[in-house]
A and B are shown apart, each in its own frame.
Chain A
Amino acid sequence: MKIDSIKNGIVIDHIKAGEGMKIYNFLNLDKQDCTVALIKNATSKQMERKDIIKVDCFIDLTALGYIDPNITINVIRDGELVEKYHPELPEKIVNVVRCKNPRCITTTEQELPHVFKLTDAGRQVYRCIYCETKAER
């Protein structure tokens, strides 16, 4: 299977097989005008099967580390790989996860942003800033 190579953009590699669509939606890629390719079940030396997303432009990836810090991000400029990194765990995520605690103020005040903060980097624990309920993955 052949996909046009990217000139200026990013390749999100080593996505757990089956998680590609989730990340596609999470990054709102349906709203992008540039070329986007979602590759499912590619063969991988490291993980047997993986998903890959190619985006032919630059987009905001700040919250990606919350979804999976093991993903690899490749940055391509003028057709050359210029940077390769794993996303960091973001300190704060806004409107990515919704608080499930029925006693939380976010349940009665609909316009409040759902904000979670990283409280334990080792165990990747995020807690609601309002009620401290743990984010469920």
Chain B
Amino acid sequence: MRSLISILDLSVQEIDELIAVANDIIDNPKNYAEKCHGKKLATLFFEPSTRTRLSFEAAMYELGGNVLGFSEAQSSSAAKGESVADTVRTVSCYADIIAMRHPKEGAPLVASMNASVPIINAGDGGHNHPTQTLTDLLTIQREKGRLNNLTVGFCGDLKFGRTVHSLIEALSRYTGIKIILISPEELKLPSYVKQDVLQKHNIEYVQTTDLEAVMPELDILYMTRVQRERFFNEEDYLRLKDSYILTPEKLQTAKSDLAILHPLPRVNEIAVAIDADPRACYFRQVLNGKFVRMALILKLLEECV
């Protein structure tokens, strides 16, 4: 029995297999409609995340399975002080697989050590969110046809953005990857990620504060939100925020086959005018999230033969 706690729990080969299955689901959804008939997914969301929960639930329904669970801690036994270990031991009796979101880092790992069914980490605080990374990888693969030989720009909050750290970690295992880090000084990629990931894997990378200057180079542009509360003062925020908002003008020098990704929700960092541009992938990315979760559920339930 296996669980998915961190994206690094999966080998590159396993990720490639999941992407292949997800692509097959997209092409032949009927073949998968009954694959999980009679199986139950429990969504244990100790903090609300409607977007992620709906994606998991839709994925299970499209596999012919059923869903049970809770969407916030108040409606669970955690509100009465039950430990994560006891909760998942109990839920293991009712469900065949568990998707768990928790505000505390490491809670899904504790769950996987105590459950008798597979655990999928659906986000543990600011730590891991491996199904978001799988979603990003599937999207890049579908848009570009490959996961190697890519110049990938990450723009916005690179300091606190866990989706950024985890995607950089996943991409650094492929060949011919060049990373361009675009952010204000205050929100630069932490040095431990540079040291433990980029330098360790000899990944070529550039740091800049200027999105427009690097735009022509990019194959992928991964946008993230720059949040007001990340700045010490309002002045700095107001001075910087517009530099990291993607507008049609800034896209003028971009490649015609650029793929723009965003983990969503978006606030204002991508102008709505860009939504109609064929290079905007973020809504297709949401759909990919459901398909890759379907592939993952199949893999962990070993139904994928």
Contact = CB atoms under 8 A, between A and B. Distances in A.
Nearest to A106: B106
Interface string A61-94: 0000000000000000000000000000000000
Given A103-B125, A103-B126, A128 B83 contact: no
Interface in B70-92: 83-85
A26 interface: no
B127 A132 contact: yes
Nearest to B127: A131
B104 interface: yes
Nearest to B192: A134
Contact of B110 (A103, A107, A112): A112
A104 interface: yes
19 contacts: A103-B125, A104-B105, A104-B106, A105-B102, A105-B106, A105-B109, A105-B110, A105-B124, A106-B106, A107-B104, A108-B104, A109-B110, A111-B83, A112-B110, A129-B106, A130-B110, A131-B105, A131-B106, A131-B127
Contact of A103 (B84, B85, B104, B109): B104
Interface residues of B, number: 15
A130 B109 contact: yes
A101 interface: yes
B104 A128 contact: no
A107 B84 CA distance: 13
Given A109-B83, A131-B127, A101 B110 contact: no
A86 B249 CA distance: 64
B107 interface: yes
Among the interface residues A103, A105, A112, A128, which one has the most CB atoms of the partner chain B within 10 A? A105
A109 B81 CA distance: 10
A12 B109 CA distance: 37
A130 B105 contact: yes
Closest 7 A/B residue pairs (Cβ): A130-B106, A131-B105, A105-B106, A105-B104, A105-B107, A131-B106, A103-B125
A112 B113 CA distance: 11
Contacts of B124: 105
Nearest to A125: B196
B80 to A, nearest CB: 14
Contacts of B103: 103
Interface string B126-170: 110000000000000000000000000000000000000000000
A30 to B, nearest CB: 32
Interface string A97-134: 00001011111110110000000000000001111100
Interface in B269-287: none
A94 to B, nearest CB: 13
Given A111-B83, A128-B106, 8 more contacts: A103-B103, A104-B105, A105-B109, A109-B85, A109-B110, A130-B105, A130-B110, A131-B105
Interface string B106-125: 11011000000000000011
A97 to B, nearest CB: 15
Give the most central of A106, A129, A131: most B CB within 10 Å. Answer: A131
Nearest to A110: B83
Contacts of A108: 104
A112 to B, nearest CB: 7
A101 B109 contact: no
A101 B125 CA distance: 12
Nearest to A99: B106
Contacts of A103: 103-105, 125-127
Nearest to A129: B109
Contacts of B107: 105, 130
A132 B124 CA distance: 12
